[in-house]
Each structure stands twice: as C-alpha cells, then as structure tokens.
A and B are shown apart, each in its own frame.
Chain A
Amino acid sequence: MFTSSSSFTNSVDALFTYIVVLSLIVLVGITAAMVYFVVKYRRSKNPVPVNIEGNTTLEVLWTAIPLALFMSMFYFGWTGYKEMRSAPADALPVNVTARMWQWGFEYPNGLKTDTLYVPAGRAVKVLLRSQDVNHAFFIPAFRVKKDVYPNKVNDAWFVSDRVGRYDIACAEYCGLNHSYMYSAVQVMDQSDFDAWFSSASAKAGVPAVLAAAK
C-alpha cells in the first residue's frame, strides 16, 4: 500500500490510515453490539422487552464526539490539500496535453515527449490542457490527481525523491480507449536527467536550457 513517494504520499496515507483506524474501531463496536444484542435478547431467552424511549445524554454524546472527530478529519484533509495547492515558485513547469487517448509533455525549451522525465528532488508543476474531452491526470503513487479540461488550464505539482518509473493514468472517463490512456513519469537522478535532457533536446533541435531557474 505504501510503496512509493512523493511529498504528498505520506500525508495522504497518514490521514487515510487515521480515518481507517477510527472507522474500524466504531464499525467493530457497532457490529459487535448489534450481534451481541440480537443473540443475548433473542425472543426464546428474553420474551419480555423493555421499552426505552431514548436518552438525551447519549444523543448529545454520539452527536458531539463524531462531530469532533469529523472536524479533525476535515482539518487534516484541508491542510494536506493546501500543500497540494502550494507549488514552490521554482518548480519546473511542464505543459501536459491530453487527447483521446494519450498524454503529451512539453518542457519550457520546447522539447516534447510522451513520457514525463523529471529530476528527483525537484518540484515539478504540470499545466494541464485537453484537446478534446475531459480527462484527469492521475499519478497513483504520488497521490496526485487533477481533471483536465479543454477550456481551462488546471495545474498540479509534486516532488519525488525516489528514482523510478510510475504510472500516469487517465482517471476521467473519456471514451473507447480510456483504460489504455496510460503514460509514465520517470524520476531520474539530477545528473541522469541533465544528460537525458541535453541529448533529447539536441535530437529535437531545441536549446538544452530549462527556462525556470533552479
């Protein structure tokens, strides 16, 4: 479950685990109480019911305690989300184009690729545009997702410290080959990235200079 890393992976997984644990405790409690009552008060053993109309103290408690827990979930969700909205100013900008059914990436120097190559440890900001219908840019391993529209530019950012290749999926249904609209993000050491970047730029005939200052 916790296989790989972007800056968001840990905070998202931590909040998820927090909610799962709380939920499990309450779910087990509810289910156990239910089963216990049904067995203990079965009619053959307990022919006479006791009519209890309610209990205001209990009602207040089981309104207030969940409310407090829910507010904590809301708060951590919000702070985690704020991070996702705060791309560093020096993030490497990459234009991402979605169309049925592929992804295209364009670096500031004009270099175009069909896989997203990024240096490890460097913040990357993707600027998302669609050429046709709605898509969604989804890197499961990085806990990053954003819808891609034809009429506006959405953005997202991430930074990954772990070298490797991670899937990019389309998460918004977009027709026939929606499920094949995969690409990948290749996280490389800075030196590997630099080497790749200059040779790929040379091949494409574009200057091997990244516009955004490091």
Chain B
Amino acid sequence: MANVAMPADRAEPNYLEVTTNSHKGILGWLLSVDHKRIGLLYLYTMLAFFAVAVGFGFMIRLELLTPGKTVIDAQTYNQFFTLHGIIMIFLFIIPGLPAVFGNFFLPIMLGAKDVIFPRLNLLSWYLFIIGGLIAVSAWLMPGGSADTGWMFYVPYSLRTTTNVVPALLAAFVLGFSSILTGINFITTIHRMRAPGMTFFRMPLFVWSLYATAWVQVLATPIIGITLALVMIERALGVGIFDPSLGGDPVLYQHLFWIYSHPAVYIMILPAMGLVSEVIPVFARRTIFGYKFIAFSSLAIALFGSLVWAHHMFTAGMSDTAMFVFSFLTFFVSIPSAIKVFNWVSTLYKGSIQADPPLLYVLSFIFQFSIGGFTGLMLGALSTNIHLQDTSFVVAHFHYVMFGGTGFGIFAAMHYWFPKMFGRMYNLKVATAAWAVVTVGYNLLYFPLFISGYLGMPRRYYDYLPEFQPYHMVSTVGSWILIFGLIVMFWNLWRGMRSGPKAPMNPWGGVTLEWTTQTPPIVENFREVPTVTTGPYDYSRYESAAKEGK
C-alpha cells in the first residue's frame, strides 16, 4: 500500500533492544514512552489480571458443579463473581485490544513515529496498574472484597460490610486511564497520519479504535461521577441513590448503564476492527464493503449510546421508555449484522490460508453471531421480561464479550505476534489449542442459554436439582477451555523465547506494520512512508497471476 524504501541489508536495533530513555533493564521499560514498549507493558499486566480472573471463573464453575456447597461458601462465591467481573471487564476486555494492540499498532498503521502524547500514554498505563492493584488488594483487607456484583447496584452496595469503596475507586481510576487513552488515540488519528493516509485509506482496525475512543472519552466520565457519588454516599450519607435518605436506586441504574452499555461497544468494536484486519490478509484479497464496515463502527458507537435502559426492562419504567429503548436496541443490531455479512463475503473468492489468526476470527464470527441473535431475544420486550437476570443473559454476554472480544484478543495475539517479538510460535500447536479452546468455550456457555430459558436465575450460589445437567456440562466445558488456554499461552511463550526468527511479513499483509522491520525500530520507520492506495490493496496477487508469474 505504500512506497517505503526498506533496504534489507542493514538492520537497526529494534524497540526490544533500545529504549527511549537512558535507563537500562526494567527502568528502560517502566519509564519508556515508546508506544510499543507501553503496549507490551499493558500486554503482560493485562494477561496477569486475566489469569487471576480466569482463576475466579474456574472456582465459580467448580462450585456450581453440584447443588449445595461444592468447594466454597456463599459469601466467597459472591465475592468471586464480583472480582471475576470487575477484573475481566475493567482490566482485560476494555484495555485488551485498544491499550495493548492499539498502542502498539495504531501509530505504525498510520505511518507515525508514536502516539501524539507519549507521556500521557505512559501515565495511562500507571493509572491502569494503580486501579488494578486497588481492585485486587481489597481482597486482602479486613471485610474482604466487594460482594455486590460488578454493577454495584444500590442500595445493596451501600449496605454491605465488604470493601466496596476500593472496588469503586479502582473502577474510577481505571476510567481515567481509559479516557486518556481515548484522547490520545483520537488526537493521534487526526494529527499523525502519514502523507497520503486519508481517512478512507486507514485500516479498519484504526477506524474501530477511532469510534471506540470517542465512546471512551464521552461515556466514561459518567461512570466516574456515578461511582464517585456512591463513594460519597457510603462515606458521608448523602441521599442520592439511597431510598432511606430519599434517593432513587433506579437513577443509579440509569447512570450506570449510560456508561456501561456503551462500554460493551468499547469492548467489542476494536475486536470487530481486528476481524476486518485479519480476514483480508489470510484471504489475500481486499475487504468487501470497506466504507460500510467503517461507517457501521460509527453507527454502533452512536446507536450504542442510546440503548442503555434495555438493561432495565423489568425495573418498572414507563411504557414510553420501554417502547423507545426496545426500538432503538433493534437498530443497533443492524450495523453489527452488516459487518458479519461483509466479513463472510470477504472470504468469497479469496485465496485462503486457515492459519491460527484466521481460525480464531472464524470462531469469533460464529460466536459473536450467536451472541447477536440471543441479543434479539433480549431486545424484544416480552421475551426480555422472562430472560432478564437469568443465566441466558450470562451466556449472551459471554458469547459477545468472550466468544467475541476474547477470541478477538487471541486472534490479535497470534496475528501480530511475529511482528511484536520477531519470532514465530508453532502453528500446529496453535491450531490444536484453537480447536480445544473453541470446543471448551461453547460447552461452557451454551448450556446456560437453555437453563436460563428454563428459569435459572443468575448470580446463584445454589440451584434447584433440575438445573444440574446444564451446570455439569458447563463446568466440564470450563476445564476443557482452561486446558486449551494453557496450551495456547504455553505455545506463545515458547515461541517468544525460542521460536524460529520471523520474517518481516509472514502472512503477506499489506498494511503499514508489515512494511517495517521485524521487530520494529524505536520510531517505527526509517523514512516516513507515503501512502498511495487503500489499506487492503491485494491486486498484486491477482496481477502477478495474470502476468503468468
């Protein structure tokens, strides 16, 4: 896509070897303002939090293997699902793609040397770490960690004696990290594009980060102020949400979901961008419907900000509110459907190599579609009333967030791995791990749709015996999934340590990151590239064949 002079004979020290400051060793990382090093800082810390939250998830599933007590008591269970939610959402899913891969690849994909505010970028990571440590540390304090669920619904979150304030404070601090990253990305996209990189030549991953960043900047302050109000209310007894002081719990739910619904689009949009990135590379052809995919990201960001109250259809809102929010909810499904159809069409008449990144993306499309379809059952009012707050919602949410975004993160790790580390993992092991992860994942979450429809409420420590078959299958699925994850990460770790050296462009991609050295040098490009074509110009494969090569 670009005219880049790239003499292969001289290799400059890459970002892993030299840093942007005078420090060596660990300080060379902790004080580096290189967007790639910050991306890796996010990657390692995010994966550490992920491992912790998987541990909590494992314990939740193990407890639900049998009715009654299996391994932990009810209070511990309640704290575990709260921690699982807080850590997975605020420390894994939200930062997973933007903060890790966005940081690393956004500037490179734009042909820039770095993000526009490198120091602010480093500050965002420190806020992320501080917030994460606060969230986890509440576990060690007397009283134990919060047992409210990640939604912190009042009045329960005002009444419980567990440490709710640290959890709220953590989410508050993490919100700032998210806002600053959003501001950094928006400004970088507007100001740092290489010559010739018009908006419609930007890769779709960049488009999705752009839409995401606007939601981060506009919606996150609302959750910040809402959680701050709950802290003030707990500490000082001001009656904003507390009904015994004249407050309104439903007001809290509105304010919470005004952020937290757009937040699910913060979580899914970058993964959609990643899918749009991976399919053309492995099909060796241009994306189908570039502009429709680009604009559908903006449409999702816009409509997604207008549907929050569909989380509250049983709260007793007015009929008018019910009508409007259900109606708008169906509209947000349209841009997602458009994306899915365009992705599948991009496979048509491609020259397809089913390597692990593409396999994770295919799983994404299948699972995200199930998540989307079950969203229709939740968006329709009469069915929502029955399904709300059952394990059907849990399954729907995990199909979108884990089957979608989580698999998007796995795809990104396998896709950009050779560029980031300059080495390659074992493709066969990665493919086997993908199969195990996909099977385990679907076994884990699909039964919850059925039990939810049959009336299994969510956040239940114990359950009626009739639900046990579903819980058993689900728990066995969790073991298979975790086994697959261990194999996947072990394979990546081994590849990073001792895998064969990766070439500059192992997959044959045409976006700018594949034109730089592997691993990239500190400021990414020796010469600023000039962009002359759209992001997925694979015509050389077609024309090479025509010329008989």
Chain A residues in the interface with B (C-beta under 8 A): 1, 8, 11-12, 15-16, 19-20, 23, 26-27, 30-31, 33-34, 37-38, 41-43, 46-55, 58-59, 62-63, 66-67, 70-71, 73-74, 76-85, 132-134, 136, 138, 140-141, 143-147, 149-152, 154, 167, 169-180
8 closest A-B pairs by beta carbon, nearest first, are A140-B455, A80-B382, A77-B380, A151-B243, A23-B373, A81-B381, A179-B460, A37-B347
Identify which of residues 272-306 in chain B touch chain A, using a CB-to-CB cut-off of 8 Å: 283-286, 288-292
Distance to closest chain A CB from B219 (angstroms):
24
Name the one of B78, B291, B330, B353 contacting A70, with C-beta atoms under 8 angstroms: B330
Instruction: Take A12-B382, A132-B155, A171-B390 as given contacts and tell me if A74 and B327 are in contact as well, using a CB distance cutoff of 8 Å.
Output: yes
Is the pair B542, A50 in contact by a Cβ cutoff of 8 Å?
yes
> Which residues on the B side are within 8 Å of A59 (C-beta)?
289, 292, 338, 342
Is the pair A133, B156 in contact by a Cβ cutoff of 8 Å?
yes
Is the pair B249, A151 in contact by a Cβ cutoff of 8 Å?
yes
Instruction: Take A15-B380, A77-B379, A173-B153 as given contacts and tell me if A50 and B285 are in contact as well, using a CB distance cutoff of 8 Å.
Output: yes
> Which residues on the B side are within 8 Å of A20 (C-beta)?
377
Instruction: Take A41-B350, A70-B334, A173-B156 as given contacts and tell me if A77 and B248 are in contact as well, using a CB distance cutoff of 8 Å.
Output: no
> Which residues on the A side are within 8 Å of B539 (C-beta)?
51
Identify which of residues 316-341 in chain B touch chain A, using a CB-to-CB cut-off of 8 Å: 316, 319, 322-323, 326-327, 330-331, 333-334, 337-338, 340-341
Q: Is B479 an interface residue (CB 8 A)?
A: no
Q: Is B389 an interface residue (CB 8 A)?
A: yes
Name the one of A26, A42, A171 contacting B389, with C-beta atoms under 8 angstroms: A171
> Which residues on the A side are within 8 Å of B333 (C-beta)?
66, 70
Q: Report the Cα distance A200→B196, complex, angstroms.
A: 84
Q: Is B48 an interface residue (CB 8 A)?
A: no
Known: A30-B365, A37-B347, A173-B148. 10 other contacts (CB 8 A): A23-B376, A41-B347, A43-B352, A49-B541, A50-B285, A54-B291, A77-B379, A132-B159, A146-B314, A152-B250
Distance to closest chain A CB from B454 (angstroms):
7
Is the pair A70, B376 in contact by a Cβ cutoff of 8 Å?
yes
Distance to closest chain A CB from B84 (angstroms):
14
Is the pair A26, B373 in contact by a Cβ cutoff of 8 Å?
yes
Is the pair A12, B383 in contact by a Cβ cutoff of 8 Å?
yes
Q: Is B21 an interface residue (CB 8 A)?
A: no
Is the pair B286, A52 in contact by a Cβ cutoff of 8 Å?
yes
Q: Write the chain A residue with the least CB distance to B147.
A: A175
Is the pair B385, A179 in contact by a Cβ cutoff of 8 Å?
no
Distance to closest chain A CB from B481 (angstroms):
20
> Which residues on the B side are within 8 Å of A154 (C-beta)?
315-316
Q: Report the Cα distance A48→B541, complex, angstroms.
A: 7
Distance to closest chain A CB from B143 (angstroms):
14
Is the pair B542, A19 in contact by a Cβ cutoff of 8 Å?
no
A-B contact pairs, 5 of them (CB 8 A): A15-B383, A27-B373, A53-B289, A82-B319, A173-B458
> Which residues on the B side are within 8 Å of A11 (C-beta)?
382
Instruction: Take A49-B285, A71-B330, A77-B380 as given contacts and tell me if A179 and B462 are in contact as well, using a CB distance cutoff of 8 Å.
Output: yes
Q: Is B22 an interface residue (CB 8 A)?
A: no
> Which residues on the A side are within 8 Å of B289 (C-beta)?
53-55, 59
Distance to closest chain A CB from B340 (angstroms):
6
Is the pair B351, A47 in contact by a Cβ cutoff of 8 Å?
yes
Q: Report the Cα distance A113→B250, complex, angstroms.
A: 29
Distance to closest chain B CB from A122 (angstroms):
21
Instruction: Take A62-B338, A133-B156 as given contacts and tell me if A145 and B386 are in contact as well, using a CB distance cutoff of 8 Å.
Output: yes
> Which residues on the A side are within 8 Å of B322 (C-beta)?
78, 81
Instruction: Take A37-B347, A52-B349 as given contacts and tell me if A136 and B377 are in contact as well, using a CB distance cutoff of 8 Å.
Output: no
Is the pair B386, A143 in contact by a Cβ cutoff of 8 Å?
yes
Q: Report the Cα distance A141→B319, complex, angstroms.
A: 24
Distance to closest chain B CB from A144 (angstroms):
7
Chain B residues in the interface with A (C-beta under 8 A): 74-75, 78, 147-149, 153, 155-156, 159-160, 243-244, 247-250, 283-286, 288-292, 312, 314-316, 319, 322-323, 326-327, 330-331, 333-334, 337-338, 340-342, 344-345, 347-354, 358, 362, 365-366, 369-370, 373-374, 376-377, 379-386, 388-390, 453-455, 457-464, 538-539, 541-542, 545
Q: Report the Cα distance A8→B8, complex, angstroms.
A: 71
Instruction: Take A38-B354, A52-B286, A59-B289 as given contacts and tell me if A8 and B379 are in contact as well, using a CB distance cutoff of 8 Å.
Output: no
Distance to closest chain A CB from B528 (angstroms):
28
> Which residues on the B side are within 8 Å of A12 (C-beta)?
382-383, 385-386
Is the pair B314, A147 in contact by a Cβ cutoff of 8 Å?
yes
Distance to closest chain B CB from A83 (angstroms):
8
Q: Report the Cα distance A83→B382, complex, angstroms.
A: 9
Instruction: Take A145-B388, A171-B457 as given contacts and tell me if A30 and B369 are in contact as well, using a CB distance cutoff of 8 Å.
Output: yes
Is the pair B351, A30 in contact by a Cβ cutoff of 8 Å?
no
Is the pair A149, B250 in contact by a Cβ cutoff of 8 Å?
yes
Q: Report the Cα distance A49→B286, complex, angstroms.
A: 9
> Which residues on the B side are within 8 Å of A136 (C-beta)?
314, 388-389
Q: Report the Cα distance A204→B358, complex, angstroms.
A: 69
Q: Report the Cα distance A52→B342, complex, angstroms.
A: 11
Is the pair B285, A138 in contact by a Cβ cutoff of 8 Å?
no
Is the pair A16, B377 in contact by a Cβ cutoff of 8 Å?
yes
Is the pair B334, A63 in contact by a Cβ cutoff of 8 Å?
yes
Q: Report the Cα distance A180→B455, complex, angstroms.
A: 14
Q: Report the Cα distance A78→B381, complex, angstroms.
A: 6
Name the one of A33, A133, A172 contacting B344, with C-beta atoms under 8 angstroms: A33
Instruction: Take A26-B373, A49-B541, A175-B160 as given contacts and tell me if A67 and B352 are in contact as well, using a CB distance cutoff of 8 Å.
Output: no
Name the one of B75, B156, B291 contacting A134, with C-beta atoms under 8 angstroms: B156
Q: Report the Cα distance A147→B313, complex, angstroms.
A: 9
Q: Write the chain A residue with the least CB distance to B151.
A: A173
Is the pair A38, B457 in contact by a Cβ cutoff of 8 Å?
no
Is the pair A178, B461 in contact by a Cβ cutoff of 8 Å?
yes
Instruction: Take A31-B366, A54-B290, A77-B380 as given contacts and tell me if A43 and B385 are in contact as well, using a CB distance cutoff of 8 Å.
Output: no
Is the pair B382, A76 in contact by a Cβ cutoff of 8 Å?
yes
Distance to closest chain B CB from A30 (angstroms):
6
> Which residues on the B side are within 8 Å of A174 (C-beta)?
156
> Which residues on the B side are within 8 Å of A62 (C-beta)?
337-338, 341
Distance to closest chain A CB from B255 (angstroms):
15
Q: Report the Cα distance A83→B244, complex, angstroms.
A: 33
Is the pair B249, A176 in contact by a Cβ cutoff of 8 Å?
no
Name the one of B156, B358, B376 contacting A19, with C-beta atoms under 8 angstroms: B376
> Which residues on the B side are within 8 Å of A38 (C-beta)?
347, 352, 354, 358, 362
Instruction: Take A38-B354, A41-B351 as given contacts and tell me if A169 and B455 are in contact as well, using a CB distance cutoff of 8 Å.
Output: yes
Distance to closest chain B CB from A164 (angstroms):
15
Distance to closest chain A CB from B449 (angstroms):
10
Distance to closest chain A CB from B494 (angstroms):
26
Instruction: Take A19-B373, A43-B351 as given contacts and tell me if A147 and B155 are in contact as well, using a CB distance cutoff of 8 Å.
Output: no
Q: Write the chain B residue with the least CB distance to A20.
A: B377
Is the pair A42, B457 in contact by a Cβ cutoff of 8 Å?
no
Instruction: Take A70-B330, A173-B156 as given contacts and tell me if A49 and B538 are in contact as well, using a CB distance cutoff of 8 Å.
Output: yes
